[in-house]
A and B are shown apart, each in its own frame.
Chain A
């Protein structure tokens, strides 16, 4: 892990510069400052991407709904994010009198922290990553669990009905969709034979999007639920519960939550690119540019879905998670395990022609499994939730 960081250009230059100034007795200082500068760089890239994406999403939403979107601040409205930040920073910061002040104040920090910690294991380009954990995928899931704690903290500490409702809804959605999400990550682990994100990229001779389309579909759906985005945005459903757990937040605390949310989308895009689109690898262009383009593709897709689909009801969302996505992810994991057992050689490696065989069989599996499962779920739905919970995945989504 340390060796990988030492190969980083920024790290090496800062380290050698400080060593040349202070001499080798202060090697620990050089190490600390060099590491800190690399971390600062990664964090700043993420924050800038997230702020830029707030502008891009609003412009795109404008296009999708036949409006202009923000176009006043700077060329094409590019400085809109800056204007928003200044506005949020100068706003009065209100804490409700009955709120649990300490928890109320710390919740946005926990939220942002969970997103930033996820950045630690994601490779942003060839040899550009902070750490290569051999349990990277599991680490991502564990760290994102802290975000749901932050949502619960915010909802409880606000001492507001709508906040509590929002937090309860968020917890239900987060717990339900975490299982299909982990299952889709598990199928990636089965394919790559490792949980390290670097290994996952290196083992993709064919993009895993082709090899296991079901896992990609499950990941995209579960991720948009985890990120509270339409059609799963019941936690902040504006027309029902004001703004959910964000109701009492104002000023930069609200801004921090929003920043964390958009940064989480960027992180999700990076994870999707790493898991399913060969990460930083592709022809001609430098690796970092490819990574950015793939994250951009994910962001465009997310915005498109958000502007197209209406919000679902809470019971529909939970039914969808437990009765459709969860069995589907189980089917996918079993199918991939069987394929791997049959096709891998004695060292457990998959050759490229085996991969192509898996591509064919998995696409056939998807075409068969999805309609069959929809049929079964539609017939069986409504037993625990009553007749009202009709399941319309075939028509609606």
Chain B
């Protein structure tokens, strides 16, 4: 029985994701596009949460909904004539080709890779380790991959300093 609920929730989230993603590109009003993008992010966070990746789900909401979307809306607010500013251009054939290639590449990658499928009935000890994904993630980032983590930090710092150097008055 619980599997049925999970299926229903998954397909609902899937439908919301696809529909709102279509809304992002399919309407004229840029502000509404940005809002539809937020709905997409939220639905993807829901899918993450359903896959027991709570930390990833919350991080998705925190970073994409809370920060990136706000910046997107900020940028959108500076555009001229916002409700009608999205016009079709003559670049449509090019973009169709590019998007099609990306789609083919991604599906190829997904179908080619070896997925470790989990048995439907998990042993108890595996389930208990699955629940606390945040502490595992913390251990992995701070202990095993600390070099990469610190490098990303330095990179971001350089980006911030660079941005400040660009906008600062001489």
Contacts and interface: CB of A to CB of B under 8 A. Distances in A.
Interface of A: 28, 100, 102-103, 133-135, 138-139, 141-143, 145-146, 148-149, 152-153, 156, 164, 168, 171, 174-175, 178, 195, 384
A152 B70 contact: yes
B28 interface: no
A103 B54 contact: no
What does DSSP make chain A's interface, helix, strand, loop or mixed? helix
A141 B55 CA distance: 13
Contact of B66 (A135, A156, A178, A384): A178
The interface centre, meaning the residue of A103, A133, A135 with most chain B CB atoms within 10 A of its CB, is A135
Interface stretch (B31-39, B84-92, B106-114): B31-39
Interface stretch (B13-21, B57-65, B143-151): B57-65
Nearest to B82: A156
B55 A145 contact: no
Contacts of A102: 32
Contacts of B32: 100, 102-103
Contacts of A171: 70, 73-74
B134 interface: yes
B1 interface: yes
19 contacts: A133-B54, A134-B54, A134-B134, A135-B55, A138-B55, A141-B66, A142-B62, A142-B66, A145-B61, A145-B66, A145-B70, A148-B66, A149-B35, A149-B38, A149-B65, A152-B70, A152-B73, A156-B73, A174-B70
B40 to A, nearest CB: 13
A145 B67 contact: yes
Interface residues of B, number: 25
Contact of B35 (A103, A135, A139, A145): A103
A381 to B, nearest CB: 16
Contacts of A28: 1
Contacts of B134: 134-135, 138, 195
B58 A168 contact: no
Contact of B58 (A103, A139, A149): A139
B54 A100 contact: no
A100 B62 contact: no
A142 B31 contact: no
B124 to A, nearest CB: 14
Nearest to B62: A142
Contacts of A133: 54
B131 interface: yes
B58 A175 contact: no
Contact of A142 (B61, B73, B74): B61
Contacts of B70: 145, 148-149, 152, 171, 174-175
B38 to A, nearest CB: 6
A156 B77 contact: yes
A233 to B, nearest CB: 20
Nearest to A153: B35
Nearest to B31: A156
A365 B61 CA distance: 34
A35 to B, nearest CB: 13
Given A134-B131, A135-B54, A141-B62, A100 B31 contact: yes
B58 A142 contact: yes
Contacts of B127: none
Nearest to A148: B70
The interface centre, meaning the residue of B32, B58, B69, B134 with most chain A CB atoms within 10 A of its CB, is B58
A333 B23 CA distance: 42
Contact of B65 (A103, A142, A168, A178): A142
Contacts of B132: 134
A195 B132 CA distance: 11
A103 B31 contact: yes
A149 B132 CA distance: 30
Contacts of A100: 29, 31-32, 83
